[in-house]
Chains A and B, each alone.
Chain A
Amino acid sequence: MATLRLEIVTPEARVFSADVENVTLPGVDGQLGIYPMHVPLMTQISCGELVIRQNGATRHLAVGDGFVEITGERVAVLTEMAIDTDHINEAEVEKARKEAEERLKKQLNDEEIAVTEAALAHAITQLEVKRRRSEGV
């Protein structure tokens, strides 16, 4: 069976790099399911859940805003955050979310606001994805 080469890269590290059967992305206009031989496509993704199917097993990742380059045999995901749901520590993320909310109330300059808002969005996404997983939906 044909496979896709999936690359997920964040500013911190190359998170994922392997052959997969298909991948579902949180596109800006809704979910995108990508199978091998997809038409070359350049698109954006927003905060949400990325689902990888590899050797029959599924993996779920919480991802942030980013860009995706799709060719017939390769999917390159460029995002600010990518965390496996299994590695999300709900208590810690909840704490990060509270901290970000607190910070937004203070006087900040534009750059700090942008960074904090991004952190908040990431925390919220992680929580959402994690909860959806643990509910088994």
Chain B
Amino acid sequence: MPSTRDIRRRIKSVKNTAQITKAMEKVASAKMRKAQQAALAGRPYVDLMNGMLAAATASAGEFTHPLMEQRPVKKRAVIVVSTDKGLCGSLNTNLLREAGRFDAESSLFLTAGRKSEQWTARAKRTVAERFTYRDNPKFSEAMAICRKACELFTSGEVDQVDIVFTNFISTLNQKPLVRQLLPIIELKPLSASVKDEESTASVPESKVSEFQFEPTATDVLGSLLPKYVNYQIYQVLLEAKASEHSSRMVAMKNATDNAKQLVKDLTLEYNKIRQANITKELLEITSAAMAMGN
């Protein structure tokens, strides 16, 4: 049976842990709000760009662009967008499970975030380049990734580029997602699973089939396509950050709750032992008194 002192010590250490996780929860929730806002604010732009591109390619006729070229996929590149730090629940585990599905032989990996970097080393995958991105992702960071991906694709080194990231659905729900980035063939909105009512209502689908272009279709699409890829990656970074902070906040909240429960249980046990000790002492005193009295 542990002594009261042991239990007291444990209670103290668990309380300390709870304090730390509580602080981390607070920090994560502050960051989460910002990151979520950024991710949600970026969505209409990417969605509109999507719609425009879909309409444009539909009426551009025989237009081809290096970024749209479809080839048999012999080799592919995979961009893995993970977090830098741990302590965010099952986020990275789920993400890297998706990333692990790609064939190790024929896939080239581009990593963003330290966790995916460590994973490529551990799982022995070929890495083309490592990228980092900050807590509030910068557009230039997305550009760097985009440039490398486009370079790999247009040079013919890879025939397809996929991106693996965690899509932000809600504070309690984030989902790892695999999207084909290049070649640009299917124009699905990034956040298909989360259609907010407002955006669908205010941006009606354009039903016009034939668009004119000014100056020319080649000019317009030629500059729209690279931008599209770029913003897509940028939005992915924002979504990943929003997911990370949400997931971390929830994980830390759970940790704090668990610690509090543990303190409660330990206190109960501590009191029980204390009570038992007092009873024992009383018993000893009374039995001693009785012995003396006789």
Contacts and interface: CB of A to CB of B under 8 A. Distances in A.
Contact of A42 (B202, B203, B214): B214
Nearest to B235: A11
Nearest to A13: B41
Contact of A14 (B44, B55, B59, B204): B44
A39 B215 contact: no
A16 B119 CA distance: 44
A11 B231 contact: yes
Contacts of B52: 42, 67, 69, 76, 78
22 contacts: A7-B48, A7-B202, A9-B45, A11-B45, A28-B215, A29-B214, A40-B206, A40-B211, A41-B211, A41-B213, A42-B59, A43-B220, A44-B219, A67-B220, A69-B51, A71-B206, A72-B208, A74-B206, A76-B51, A76-B206, A114-B143, A115-B139
Contacts of B55: 42, 69
B179 interface: no
**Range for the number of chain A residues in contact with chain B:** 20 to 34
A14 B204 CA distance: 15
B143 A39 contact: no
Contacts of A27: 214
Given A44-B223, A110-B147, A111-B144, 11 more contacts: A11-B42, A17-B202, A27-B214, A29-B214, A39-B212, A40-B211, A42-B214, A69-B55, A69-B211, A111-B140, A111-B147
Contacts of A114: 140, 143
Interface residues of B, number: 37
A59 B206 CA distance: 26
Nearest to B221: A42
Interface in A1-60: 5, 7, 9-14, 17, 27-29, 39-44
Interface string A106-131: 00011110110000000000000000
B41 A115 contact: no
Nearest to A11: B45
A39 to B, nearest CB: 6
Contact of B224 (A9, A14, A67, A72): A67
Contacts of B48: 7, 9, 76, 78
A42 B41 contact: no
A7 B52 CA distance: 13
Contacts of A67: 49, 52, 220, 224
A114 B230 CA distance: 13
Contacts of A41: 211-214
Nearest to B141: A111
Nearest to A43: B214
Contacts of B138: 115
Q: Which 3 A-B pairs have the closest CB atoms?
A: A111-B140, A43-B214, A40-B208
A83 to B, nearest CB: 16
B269 interface: no
A81 to B, nearest CB: 12
B56 interface: yes
Nearest to A68: B52
